Amino acid sequence: MPLIEIVKVSHSYPQTTGRLQVLTDLTVTLNEHRIGVIGANGSGKSTFARLLNGLVLPDSGQVRVDGHDTRRHGSAVRRLVGFCFTDPDAQIVMPTVREDVMFGLRRRGLAAAEISARADRAIDEFGLHGYAYHPAHLLSGGQKQLLALASVLVTEPELLVMDEPTTLLDLRNAAAVGEIVARLPHQVILLTHHLDLLTGFGRVLVFDEGRLVCDDVPERATDFYRKLMG
Amino acid sequence: MSVIAEYSPGTSLVHRAPGGVKLAMLAAIGVVLVVLRGWWPPLAALAAVICCYALARLPARTVLSQLRQLLWVVLILGVAQLILSGWQAATAVVGTLLTLVLAAGLVSLTTTMTELTDILLRLLHPLHRIGVPTERLALLISLSVRSVSVIAALAAEVRDAQRARGLQASPRAFAVPLLVRSLRHAQALGEALLARGLDD
């Protein structure tokens, strides 16, 4: 399981009037199997998630995944860390389901037969076997999120970061995605507003106004969050 | 209905034919129709392309949807040619247009984007030696095809929002949010490509 070290990280985004501070002096070390991240919109949790695979490089401080600095070894970090976005439409890059699952594998330089076998296995595992040649944009919201998940996991990352994967889904699809995530053998960092998905997690971080304000087991962290939201 | 012809899975002879052969045939039809004058070659080629659709066992509605998108162009062009140059020229122009669009549609309907991208990559290979990022160029083309359906969906959403707010006749109220959403999508796509190993 990769060790994630975040040391004195601060980050801001440019605005028309100065800069918007989104993370301030964050230091945390993570190595649990299941880690939840919660916080209000704009609390800095999405920026935190993007730091973990080098999609965002911090203004100051350092992020290391399994010893790799995201600033200097971005490509190596992204091989270790799979990332699932809130909106699967933004993540699906190829026209059909099978082609999208194969996309990440083709970039790894694997043999064609190996790519096909792994893609077909992933499509089956995620219940998309009837849709292999289906246009990806015509799938339902839940199926799109499953496709996004299959396309990330087929490349066999060690850590999976999921940025609110159930926010755009109805209750049934959200529960289905939650069940799949619960069964994954991977280390998972899950950002969510669905607090029930955090049951059984090893650790939950609560962000507020760019600061880590609570770092505890799920019950205490979610209680803290509920009080914080008033 | 899709804006462009999307891959329709199948196991027919046309589906199984190598993508390179299909693209070469498409180019050959184009050249032959330019070289051979007269009204009958386009009609013969059109009949051949329709036979290929039957061979590919594509649903009739797929062919009809391709034709429906061409209806107004064919009508305007056909009538103009008929008035200005007579029936033979009108038949040749309309026949050529229908043949080429249907043949190109047949290639798209029976060949996956991955196969088309691979062919493109092979064609561009000589440029790779002089430093052109051919793999990214091929990826750019396949992403452009995927983006057509995404932008069409965004446009439909913006149009619905416009109707809901009673702004039917405002081109600005349509163009501005569509542009903003398209740019947001482009930014998210860039992030997703990076996350999925584009820099490997």
Q: Tally C-beta pairs within 8 A across A and B.
A: 86
Residue A71's CB is within 10 A of a number of other CB atoms, namely 13
Condensed to tens digits (0 to 9), the pLDDT of residues B160-181 reads: 888 888 776 778 888 999 999 9
How far apart are alpha carbons A150 and A157 in whole angstroms?
11
Chain B, nearest residue to A93 by Cα:
B143
Contacts of residue A1, Cβ cutoff 8 Å, sequence gap at least 6: A31, A33, A158, A159, A187
Among candidates A193, A157, A179, which has minimal Cα distance to A83?
A157
Sheet holding A203-208, edge to edge: A81-84, A159-163, A187-191, A34-39, A203-208, A211-216
Condensed to tens digits (0 to 9), the pLDDT of residues A144-155 reads: 999 999 999 999
Least Cα separation, residue B97 to chain A (angstroms): 26
Residue B145 has its nearest CB partner, among A78, A95, A108, at A95
Mean pLDDT for chain B overall: 87
Least Cα separation, residue B166 to chain A (angstroms): 27
Q: How many residues does chain A have?
A: 230
Cite the beta strand spans of A85-202 per DSSP E. Answer: 159-163, 187-191
Q: Chain B partners of A155 at a C-beta cutoff of 8 Å?
A: 196-197
Least Cα separation, residue A95 to chain B (angstroms): 5
Judged by CB atoms closer than 8 Å, whether chains meet at B113 and A99 is answered as yes
Inform me whether the pLDDT recorded for A116 exceeds 60. Answer: yes
Inform me whether the pLDDT recorded for B2 exceeds 70. Answer: no
> For position A172, what pLDDT does the model report?
85
The answer to whether the CB of A20 falls within 8 A of the CB of A185 is no
Q: What SS3 state is found at A64? A: strand
Condensed to tens digits (0 to 9), the pLDDT of residues B50-82 reads: 999 999 998 888 778 878 878 888 999 999 999
The answer to whether the CB of B147 falls within 8 A of the CB of B192 is no
Q: Chain B partners of A91 at a C-beta cutoff of 8 Å?
A: 188, 192, 195-196
Chain A, nearest residue to B194 by Cα:
A55
Higher pLDDT: A93 or A98? It is A98
Mean pLDDT of A106-113: 85
Question: What are the start-end ranges of the H helices in B56-133?
Answer: 60-85, 87-110, 113-128
Tokens of B121: 């990559």
Residue B7 has its nearest CB partner, among A90, A96, A104, at A96
> Residue B46: pLDDT band by 50, 70, 90 thresholds?
very high
Contacts of residue B97, Cβ cutoff 8 Å, sequence gap at least 6: B70, B73, B74, B77
Chain A, nearest residue to B199 by Cα:
A75
Tokens of B59: 């649903």
The percent of chain B in helix, strand and coil, each rounded to the nearest 5, is 80, 0, 20
Q: Chain A partners of B195 at a C-beta cutoff of 8 Å?
A: 53, 55, 78, 82-83, 85, 91
> For position B64, what pLDDT does the model report?
82
> For position A106, what pLDDT does the model report?
84
Inform me whether the pLDDT recorded for B136 exceeds 90. Answer: no
- Ordered structural domains, chain A, with CATH: 4-229 (3.40.50.300)
Tokens of B105: 């549609």
Mean pLDDT of A116-130: 93
Which of A56-65, B3-12, B34-43 has the lowest average pLDDT? B3-12
> Residue A98: pLDDT band by 50, 70, 90 thresholds?
very high
- Exposed, middle or buried: residue A109 (CB in 10 Å: 0-12, 13-18, 19+)? exposed
Among candidates A192, A103, A198, A191, which has minimal Cα distance to A147?
A103
> For position A157, what pLDDT does the model report?
94
How far apart are alpha carbons B4 and B141 in whole angstroms?
14
Look at the block and give the residue holding tokens 């059984």. A200
Judged by CB atoms closer than 8 Å, whether chains meet at A102 and B114 is answered as yes
Condensed to tens digits (0 to 9), the pLDDT of residues B78-125 reads: 999 999 999 999 999 999 999 999 999 999 899 988 888 888 888 888
Chain B, nearest residue to A130 by Cα:
B9
How far apart are alpha carbons B102 and B48 in whole angstroms?
11
Inform me whether the pLDDT recorded for B1 exceeds 60. Answer: no
> Residue B12: pLDDT band by 50, 70, 90 thresholds?
very high
Judged by CB atoms closer than 8 Å, whether chains meet at A108 and B2 is answered as no
> For position B4, what pLDDT does the model report?
62
Contacts of residue A187, Cβ cutoff 8 Å, sequence gap at least 6: A1, A2, A32, A33, A34, A35, A158, A159, A160
Higher pLDDT: B113 or A161? It is A161
